[in-house]
Amino acid sequence: MTIKDKKVTALIGPSGCGKSTFLRTLNRMNDLIEGSRVSGKIILDGRNIYEPGVDVVELRKKVGMVFQKPNPFPMSIYDNVAYGPRIHGIKDKTKLDEIVEKSLKAAALWDEVKDRLKSSALGLSGGQQQRLCIARVLAVEPDVILMDEPCSALDPISTMKIEELIIDLKEKYTIVIVTHNMQQAGRVSDFTAFFLNGELVEYGITEEVFYNPKNKKTEDYITGRFG
Ligand SMILES: Nc1ncnc2c1ncn2[C@@H]1O[C@H](COP(=O)(O)OP(=O)(O)OP(=O)(O)O)[C@@H](O)[C@H]1O
């Protein structure tokens, strides 16, 4: 499967089919699970990310991740966004201010928080927290953003804001999103991959997978016969 640069790819399929597991292979998050085993290759910028000698911290900087439940750190809004750049060695206050502002703007959150950057991130609404988590990923300048059901804990208005944000972000970033919501996959993605029982069944342009699926199992899932 070739994940296209600066496009949104949606991973769909019934519960337990392996969407999240597949997503987590893309930045080696499964390495953190004891006893996990990976075969095959994931090629990013011409190099297999599972090759010996790959710096996993650098890889995860390049391939950022946003989780199902917003998980801001228990610190200020500013410090949440500055966290990654600081870890990567940026100490200059002016530079950090710039990164924080730029990332919050890109995550469509700046106007809502610019007057309370020193307040705790935990005081934000769920939708704002999720956009903060996106800003935190953007602050380390990734190439790829992985999103694991980023809207499943959010209300419809916050969901709409995140979807608009995803569409804006694909100008600069390659996005892979796991979603349970077929309408969401239809609205935000350019490409869709359908998984079933741990296998990739079909992958293609979203409209084709939705309206003209090649595989009978995809058709059955899309038309609601199971899942
Ligand atoms: N290729 C695979 N090889 C071995 N185990 C797998 C594979 N894919 C998934 N699994 C296992 O199947 C279970 C469900 O996988 P996963 O959570 O990725 O599914 P999901 O499609 O994201 O489900 P949900 O939509 O409910 O979040 C996990 O325990 C995972 O370890």
Residue 196 in tokens:
């079933």
Does residue 47 have a pLDDT over 80? yes
Whether 45 is covered by a domain: the verdict is: yes
Residue 227: per-residue pLDDT: 73
- Which range marks the domain in which residue 69 is found? 8-222
Give Cα 15 to chain centroid, integer Å.
18
Give me the CATH number covering residue 134.
3.40.50.300
Q: What is the ipTM of this complex?
A: 0.91
Helix H, strand E, coil C: the string for the chain is CCCCCCCEEEEECCCCCCHHHHHHHCCCHHHHCCCCCCCCCCEECCEECCCCCCCHHHHHHHEEEECCCCCCCCCEHHHHHHHHHHHCCCCCHHHHHHHHHHHHHHCCCHHHHCCCCCCEHHHCCHHHHHHHHHHHHHCCCCCEEEEECCCCCCCHHHHHHHHHHHHHHCCCCEEEEECCCHHHHHHHCCEEEEEECCEEEEEEEHHHHHHCCCCHHHHHHHCCCCC
Amino acid at 120: S
Whether 149 is covered by a domain: the verdict is: yes
Atom of ligand 1 nearest to the CA of 33: 31
Residue nearest to atom 10 of ligand 1 (CA): 18
Ligand 1 neighbourhood includes 198 CB (under 6 angstroms): yes
Whether 212 is covered by a domain: the verdict is: yes
Whether 89 is covered by a domain: the verdict is: yes
Could you tell me the distance, in angstroms and rounded to a whole number, from the CA of residue 18 to the centre of ligand 1?
3
Q: How many domains does the chain have?
A: 1
Residue 84 in tokens:
């990654």
The stretch 162-185 carries a mean pLDDT of: 95
Whether 218 is covered by a domain: the verdict is: yes
Ligand 1 neighbourhood includes 21 CB (under 6 angstroms): yes
Ligand 1 neighbourhood includes 20 CB (under 6 angstroms): yes
Ligand 1 neighbourhood includes 13 CB (under 6 angstroms): yes
Whether 3 is covered by a domain: the verdict is: no
Residue 32: per-residue pLDDT: 85
User: Per residue in 57-113, pLDDT tens?
Assistant: 999 999 999 999 999 999 999 999 999 999 999 999 999 999 999 999 999 999 999
Does residue 226 have a pLDDT over 90? no
Whether 227 is covered by a domain: the verdict is: no
- Strand partners of residue 12: 194
Quickly state the pLDDT bin for 189 (edges 50, 70, 90). Answer: very high
Whether 2 is covered by a domain: the verdict is: no
Could you tell me the distance, in angstroms and rounded to a whole number, from the CA of residue 197 to the centre of ligand 1?
8
Residue nearest to atom 14 of ligand 1 (CA): 16
Q: Do the strands 47-48 and 174-178 form a parallel or antiparallel pair, or are they unpaired?
A: unpaired
